[in-house]
Structure 1
Amino acid sequence: MAPRPQGEITRGTTNPNRLRRVDNWIAATLGDTLREAADPLVIDLGYGESPVTAVELRARLAAAVRPDVRVVGLEIDPARVAAAAPMADPPGLTFLRGGFELAGLRPAVVRAFNVLRQYGSRP
């Protein structure tokens, strides 16, 4: 059983194409890592209010790197995970509740942007 996600839910606004350049960088820089991986799993950590970044990441990596790449969108907000479910396309794209514990998964690549603010600072 995966550990319970820790953190605080943020406003999580997300817009289409917001991470396009990052997706292209991942494909160019980490493409060989994904091509050589026994399990080409990529995690979009903290995808936000809309699952669009995970959907776009999966499409871009499948086209540019490896058609069987798997993307898992992780969010700590169960309502966001439920709302994203209709966008899932197993086995290529799934959505799970999780945080930095990565829901117990062992990805080849993790994309994490703007999720550090979910965690309080420690003195």
Structure 2
Amino acid sequence: MPPRTPHRPVGSVTRGTTNPNRLRRMDRWIVATHGRELRRGDDPVAVDLGYGAAPWTAVELLGRLRTVRPDAEVVGVEIDPARVAAARAYERPGLRFAHGGFEVPLPGPAGRAPVLIRAANVLRQYDEDEVAAVWRRLCARLAPGGLL
């Protein structure tokens, strides 16, 4: 049997600028505009894709989603393994961090798909001609009726 090839996340490490409350307006808009979709379904998992150098956006997203869905979970996904290792200190029930990229690896049972993937800041750091394929890949990972 050939040796197993290590998993290589899809994407590139970006600059990772992260500050507290950086995405508060976006989070509030998601909750206000899409609260009904977020309340629907049995598995309220959201992905903060490319949360950056610090985990603040994932931490804050969990708090804001829980205003409309108290059992919401957030998985912060980051392509830089050092950023994931540093973020693990912030894990708690409902908040986990995973190494990955646009393939959106989710811990837990197979077939678990997010109801929300928030990827705005990471996508804007790519060339425009690369975004359409990434968009299709991310949409394919969403739960039925999920939001990107």
Displacement of 1:120: 9.1
1:77 is matched with 80
Runs ≥4 in structure 1, deviation > 4 angstroms?
Answer: 118-122
SS of the residue 2:113 aligns to: coil
1:111 is matched with 118
Give the number of the structure with larger relative contact order, counting CA–CA contacts within 8 Å between residues 6 or more apart.
1
Alignment partners' CA distance in 1, 2:23 and 2:13: 20
SS of the residue 1:39 aligns to: coil
1:32 is matched with 36
Aligned counterpart in structure 2 of residue 48 of structure 1, from 45, 48, 52: 52
Deviation string, structure 1 residues 57-100 (Cα, Å, up to 9, x no partner): 001111x211110000000001000000010113x100001111
| Residue ranges of structure 2 left out of the alignment (5+ in a row) | 1-6, 107-111, 131-148
Structure of larger gyration radius = 2
Paired residues, number: 118
Q: Which range is displaced more, 42-51 or 32-41?
A: 32-41
Q: Pick closer, same or farther for the CA change 1:80–1:119 going to 2, 3 Å.
A: farther
1:98 is matched with 100
Alignment partners' CA distance in 2, 1:30 and 1:110: 13
Alignment partners' CA distance in 2, 1:21 and 1:120: 24
Alignment partners' CA distance in 2, 1:42 and 1:57: 9
Letter in 2 for 1:6: V
Displacement of 1:29: 1.6
Displacement of 1:4: 2.9
Calculate the TM-score normalised by the size of structure 2.
0.73
| Residue ranges of structure 1 left out of the alignment (5+ in a row) | none
Aligned counterpart in structure 2 of residue 58 of structure 1, from 56, 62, 68: 62
